């Protein structure tokens, strides 16, 4: 087995230390910015990477220097026995940070087992605090389920817990202050996200620049820039001067962060996507099922990273990416 530990660096000098790993493209919601209500084009389970295949790929990334893994979907907790996979990944040499993105509905069942399996951080999607708006966005009334999930996550000892809010014009942009106050009072970190034009749903959801929203929140909550690292992702953080609360902004449209992008995405069918906003990809599943060796798998990953583009073109070519977010992995 190869013991290579050299850094995985792309042709623009960016160190790829973060793998976002989709374990399913299924979800128990159909959020307006993610999937059409009528969508049926899910991957067949036979085409999903098995846990053994996932462990091989993550192990190869870890040997190449990637240390952060985030489990995503779809809704990752719809994948059967996910805590077992989490335990296998967290035990891999070189993996020092295992996190999970979820809509929260399944956390009452799985929060404790995820914590025991080595998941250390959670990002939970919650775009509104009003039942009507949640139902409008997700396609069903899930507010009570998500709130129960938040309670379960805190009871299991997860800290920090980040709440992801996709801010959409005319839908929930008027709620950012109430959401900020809710998060401060509950001890959550709020992360506001600009809608990305992925597929017809992302385009239709519209785009709200977060800069003006930050200006309002800065005055209302006396925010100052946060200087400590808050994870390996692209958010820029502020905190209240009294230290009670923190908010993060993810601004892929108004202020892109491509120059410091440190991540790639592996979809449930084994497709390695090098950029959310471009088409470069590497198909790993056929190679895994043909019996590729560990050293050759590492070489394929290295060569794939060389394809990573310099930046996305969400502003210049907003209709370019027709695949939906859940097909890529969140």
74 is in an annotated binding site: yes
- The answer to the question of whether 125 is labelled as a binding residue is yes
Please indicate if the annotation marks 275 as binding a ligand: yes
- The reply, when asked if residue 33 is annotated as ligand binding, is yes
Is residue 200 a known part of a binding site?
no
Is 20 annotated to bind a ligand? Reply is yes
Helix and strand counts by DSSP (H, E) for the chain: 11, 12
Please check if 183 is assigned to a binding site.
Answer: no
Phi-psi bin for 187: left (phi > 0), alpha (psi -120 to 50), beta? left
Q: How many Å apart are CA 18 and CA 232, to the nearest integer? A: 7
Q: Is 218 annotated as a binding residue?
A: no
Q: How far is CA 221 from CA 2, 172, 226, 229, in A?
A: 51, 19, 14, 21
Tokens at 260, concatenated: 């410091």
Q: Has 261 been labeled as part of a binding site? A: yes
**Residue 38 in marked binding region:** no
Burial label, 25 (beta-carbon count in 10 A; 0-12, 13-18, 19+): buried
Buried b (16+ CB within 10 A) or exposed e, 105-133: bbbbebbbbbbebbbbbbbbbbbbbeeeb
Comparing C-alpha atoms, which of 107, 84, 87 is closest to residue 153? Answer: 107
DSSP letter (8 states) at residue 188 = P
Q: Which two tokens stand for residue 153?
A: 């996550």
Residue 133 annotated as lining a ligand binding site: no
Strands 161-167 and 121-125: parallel
Please state the residue numbers annotated as binding site for GTP. 20, 70, 101, 162, 263-265
Task: Extract the annotated binding site.
Answer: 20, 27, 31, 33-34, 70, 74, 101, 125, 162, 196, 258, 261, 263-265, 275
Known binding-site positions for [4Fe-4S] cluster: 27, 31, 34, 258, 261, 275
For the annotated binding site for S-adenosyl-L-methionine, the residues are: 33, 74, 125, 196
């Amino acid at each position: 087995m190869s013991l290579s530990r050299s850094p995985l660096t792309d042709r623009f000098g960016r160190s790829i230390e973060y793998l976002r790993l989709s374990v399913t493209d299924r979800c128990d919601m159909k959020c307006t910015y993610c999937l059409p209500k009528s969508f049926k084009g899910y991957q067949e389970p036979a085409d999903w990477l098995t846990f053994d295949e996932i462990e091989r790929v993550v192990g190869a990334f870890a040997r190449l220097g990637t240390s952060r893994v985030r489990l995503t979907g779809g809704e990752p907790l719809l994948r059967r026995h996910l805590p077992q996979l989490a335990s296998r990944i967290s035990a891999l040499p070189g993996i020092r940070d295992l996190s999970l993105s979820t809509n929260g509905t399944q956390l009452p069942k799985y929060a404790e087992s995820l914590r025991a399996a080595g998941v250390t951080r959670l990002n939970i999607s919650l775009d509104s605090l009003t039942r009507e708006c949640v139902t409008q966005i997700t396609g069903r009334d899930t507010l009570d389920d998500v709130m129960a999930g938040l309670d379960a996550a805190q009871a299991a000892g997860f800290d920090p817990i980040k709440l992801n809010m996709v801010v959409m014009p005319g839908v929930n942009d008027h709620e950012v202050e109430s959401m900020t106050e809710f998060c401060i009072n509950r001890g959550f970190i709020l992360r506001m996200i600009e809608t990305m034009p992925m597929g017809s749903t992302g385009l239709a959801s519209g785009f709200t620049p977060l800069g003006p929203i930050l200006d309002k929140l800065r005055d209302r909550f006396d925010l100052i820039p946060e200087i400590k690292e808050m994870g390996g992702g692209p958010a820029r953080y502020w905190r209240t001067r009294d230290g009670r609360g923190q908010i993060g902004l993810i601004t892929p449209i108004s202020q892109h962060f491509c120059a410091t992008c440190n991540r790639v995405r592996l979809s449930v069918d084994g497709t390695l996507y090098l950029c959310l906003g471009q088409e470069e990809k590497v198909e790993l599943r056929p190679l895994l099922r043909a019996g590729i060796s560990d050293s050759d798998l590492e070489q394929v990953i290295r060569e794939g990273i060389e394809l990573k583009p310099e930046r996305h073109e969400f502003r210049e070519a907003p209709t370019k990416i027709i695949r939906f977010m859940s097909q890529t992995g969140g």
